[in-house]
Amino acid sequence: VTSADPEWTTPTTTDAPTMVPPDPVTEAAVQDLRSRLTGTVLSPLSVDYPFTALSTNTRYLDQRPAVIARCRDEADVVTAVNWAREHGLTVAPYGGGHSYAGLSTTSGLLLDIGAMNTVTVDLSAGTASVGAAALNGDVLDKTINTPFLLPGGTCLGVGTGGLVLGGGIGYNTHWAGLTCDHLTATRVVLASGEVVDADSSQHSDLFWACRGGTGGNFGLNTSFQFELVRAPETVVYFRYDYRGADAATAMLAAVDALAQTAPAGLNMSSSAQATPVGAGGPREAIDAFVRGQYVGTVDEAQDLLAPFVALSPATSALQERPFWQVQQQVWPSANPAPHSWGDWSRYTREALPQDRVARMVDLLAECPVRTDSSNGALWFLGWVGGDVVGKFGRTDTAYVHRGSPLLLRPTPVWETSDPASVGQDLLDWTAAQIAIVADVTPQESYQNFPNRLIPNPLQQYFGENLDRLIAVKSTYDPTSLFTNEQGIPVRA
């Protein structure tokens, strides 16, 4: 794989998991923590240890902590952080366990905060208080059929805390903004054991960093305060399905073109996936769709979506529906069984040259693995830009990717039981997809879709905000107690 981008080098894709031994901790030290914590403490000798706080991305099951502290509340978190500092262990938080790159893993102390998942909504004020490990599904349960929405992610099983700390994109971003744009305050347990409230008036630099700087870097956030968005009563739901490489190419190009000028009310995503090859050959065995919702009238939606109708979809849907019916019945997806994946994202600044879209689909047709459960797909996400997201400047929050109309995401998935060669072939295919667009897109990747193969990952995640994030890290966690494989460093 080659690219004209001078900053691009083809990464090695030897990312197969290897056993990372936990840091040594004496049983006396573990017993000391047990005596101080109200929650449960697990060591490798504990019966439940092998089944607790596992990464949902099975590529990272072999990295296991020295100790797991299952914290019941903020006081437990303070106790565990102080204990880790005393014993020289690094700390990583574990909420939903959905980090794409397995960053909620550690060889040190893992803080399992799954019990801290309360959600309280104040309908009179239009605000919500969300516990550290509350899931998107927990927030949806408390807001559904109310006048208010917290713009969230796309999977019910993902933690809202991890979502907001990395920015937070989803099905309503284009009209309602990022999750982090609605964060008004957060409580953080620091490496020192001190608990601080961070907002625009106190610890404002830490608050800035918590709006896109990702979790597990500056401390452990125990709760979040949000200002909610007033939800529309109805939306126009749409979906258009296509079959084959030629139709997929035309559809993805149309999504890209429309995303450049789409009004805020239009929220669309699209995908083309390699499927098992049949009689029509590999180019025919591609299933593609564009779907979304429009906050406006059916007539307006028909005008906007006319390019997709002109492509003669195999099936289509366009109808006005109650807003909450769409959020509850259409978007949410059940948590899939644990499996392996290696998504790699890339933002755009302008429409892609059409030959690049065609080359990506050509490579999709050559996907080396294409079973029902192990395959490759291309996602073009049109939620990420527009005037609403652009109300904030690139440095106003730690989320830097303002002004990007589209997010590309080649997505390889494979079964845990597949041979290592299957994952390796799909990872090589993913790197080749990114190389196709590397010289026509900025060096930017979404921090909530982390990938350990990305060259210069912190620069791609945080851009011109990285230096300030390093300064915040150096102030609040100068010894890097909180760290991960792609953690923000302290100043040298």
In angstroms, the CA 472 to CA 198 distance is 13
In angstroms, the CA 83 to CA 78 distance is 9
In angstroms, the CA 320 to CA 215 distance is 38
Q: What is the reported pLDDT for 4?
A: 35
CB-neighbour burial class of residue 249 (10 A; exposed 0-12, middle 13-18, buried 19+): buried
Which position has the higher pLDDT, 167 or 55? 167
Rg (CA), the chain: 22
Which position has the higher pLDDT, 464 or 61? 464
Contact yes or no for 135/116 (Cβ under 8 A): no
Q: Which residues of 397-416 are buried (b: 16+ CB within 10 A; e: fewer)?
A: bbbbbbebbbbbbbbbbbbe
DSSP-derived pairing of the beta strands 109-112 and 91-94:
parallel
The DSSP result for 214-233, as a single string, is -SSSS-EEEEEEEE-EEPPS
Which tens digit of pLDDT belongs to each residue from 87-123?
Answer: 999 999 999 888 888 888 899 999 999 999 999 999 9
Contact yes or no for 172/268 (Cβ under 8 A): no
pLDDT band at 21 (very low <50, low <70, confident <90, very high): low
> Model-level pTM?
0.94
Q: What is the reported pLDDT for 22?
A: 72
At a CB cut-off of 8 Å and minimum separation 6, what does 274 contact? 282, 285, 286, 364, 365, 367, 370, 375, 376, 377
310 CB neighbour count, 10 Å cutoff: 10
Positive or negative, the CA dihedral 319, 325, 327, 331 is negative
In angstroms, the CA 385 to CA 391 distance is 10
**Mean pLDDT for all residues in the chain:** 93
Mean pLDDT within 288-315: 98
Q: What is the reported pLDDT for 338?
A: 85
Retrieve residue 309's tokens.
């109708």
